[in-house]
Structure 1
Amino acid sequence: MNVRERTEELEYEILSADAAKSREAVRGRHEEMCLFRTAYQRDRDRILHSKSFRRLKHKTQVYITSGDHYRTRMTHSLEVAQISRTIARGLRLNEDLTEAIALGHDVGHTPFSHAGEDAMSNLIGHFSHNEQSLRMVEYLEKDGKGLNLTLAVKDGILNHTGSTVPFSLEGRIVKTADRIAYLCHDFDDSLRSGLLKKNDLPESVAVSLGNDHSTMITGMVSDMILSSTGKHDILLSEPMKETMDVFRSFMFERIYHSKILARERKQACFVIEQLFGYYMKHFHKLPLEFRRMEEKWGKQQTVVDYIAGLTDSYAVAKFNEIFVPPVWNQWMKAK
């Protein structure tokens, strides 16, 4: 019995009957099993070492002109993974599966976060970062070969947001852990930026969770574990669901849709719109690896795939390269 087989055997002894078992994982394409890592561990590693995951370190979470201490899409994904693993361990579910889903759930995000996502959706009629995340790991990584992830990981990535629910309990953990993470760390970043003060928090949220992001996370995670134990589903208590709904509405009103950040959102949308229009008109300017995809995916989808994969800084750099006269860039640098 090798290391992987021993780990797979232990899963049946230690994990809940409701947990996803690595031995039962299914891939779209057959491949030889690793001697040491289970299927879900390999998925986690493939995502962690992918180009799309590395680019998340330069993609906005909320604050486009962020400093070193503000969250990025990468730090958000790492926080979702940590929260998800804590919940999975508390419920004796598969931690490796939750981690893989959490690390991969946002790899399809456009530059400039949801502002970029909205701009892309307006341009082509429909765009969702969860669908693009699945597209990234399934078709675009490894020069179009994809990562050949297991079905449970792909399902968790696709259904981490929206009305549909992942078929695994591990995927359902990530769906709620994602919301816990972004509410709490975006509130923390908003305090740091000065856009919010602790006493701005709705009273019902402060009473239930406190006003420190660490205690907030602990409160919601604890509620999830206690509410889900023995229930064959991932649940929150009714009072906690109400608290999270109030918290989420507050954050959307005061931060995500706030007038204070409207100018940044408008600028971000403008960059996306201009890049999209330029590459649709000058398709030959795309990198060769993307031009080769036109026959398979069509011009528009290929342009979308390219722009969605850009980091914030690279998108701005390409915008400047294409639309800003060199003399102006030189003057700005000198200034």
Structure 2
Amino acid sequence: MASKTKAQIDYKKQFESINKQFQTFQILNEEGKVVNESAMPDLTDEQLQELMKRMVYTRILDQRSISLNRQGRLGFYAPTAGQEASQIASQFALEKEDWILPGYRDVPQIVWHGLPLYQAFLFSRGHFQGNQAPEGVNVLSPQIIIGAQYIQTAGVALGIKKRGQKAVAITYTGDGGTSQGDFYEGINFAGAFKAPAIFVVQNNQFAISTPVSVQTAAETLAQKAVAAGIPGIQVDGMDPLAVYAAVRDARERAVNGEGPTLIETMCYRYGPHTMAGDDPTRYRTSELDDEWEKRDPLIRFRKFLEEKGIWNEDMENEVIEQAKEEIKDAIKKADEAPKQKVTDLISIMHEEMPYNLKEQLEIYKEKESK
């Protein structure tokens, strides 16, 4: 029997070395105190206030959307409470010319990027007008297929590069999305071509009901960037300043021709995965919920701004009332949209309609005329 040879590589030490390189990047701690002064982004008081306004508005939008869904006035909806810092601060770091390719939970980003709110409501209802972004609003419709937006983002980013534009394409998925083949294909393609892309993984700890520890043996999701030869960073996703700084840095790298970045934001969704029957109490403990509620991004950022003397209760209440009024107006406008017809869908499906659809169009025209 041949003698057992000694391993040439200390695999344990190799993994320890990799894991040490992916420590969580943070600027504000849970008490709203700055713990990383050198990383503070260059934001004016007015910009800090605007970021807070958008986060508060988005929390109200989430609450109202859940209520509207329960009333039967919205269709598919994935709650966002708890992920405002990850979502809103990342979009805040972009420029108008940048493209957003969202997942199904990422409606707030495309609304703040310019998609009218009533169209976001129409998207939830499955109405085709909800997918028709106005000219100059660089967003795609939220992707329902988990991870597919990563491949699409690699393509959009390569197109940006070929056109010589100073812009980026950013996309989002959850921790579950990193278990999909599309995730690896997207980051690998973008890395190989140095495409100006930003890949955000919003690690809210559970892919529907499956914890991250069951999905992968990797210590962090950020380190998956190593295999694609691109930079990766893990960020405190409940810290809006850290998220903003990480995305802004990734954008600068991308427009300067240095290629894509993978950003893992550590966050938590306080509600269910979607409003389609998920019950998080079946796979999450109340102790875990309590632990993450202490890290609430709105509470943390509010403390920071109040300490600076640039935020108060009256300002927050004003934003809340504004959000309620605008949401009411937007849902009313969505209600006024014409009822969707099969002929509408057939007519807008192709630039040049194929013969088989022409036949179907005539059939449905006759049906709809009765």
The answer, yes or no, to whether TM exceeds 0.5 is: no
Q: Which has the larger radius of gyration?
A: 2
Structure 1 or 2: larger strand share?
2
Richer in helix (by share): 1
Q: What TM-score do you get using the length of structure 1 for normalisation?
A: 0.28
TM-score, with length taken from structure 2: 0.26
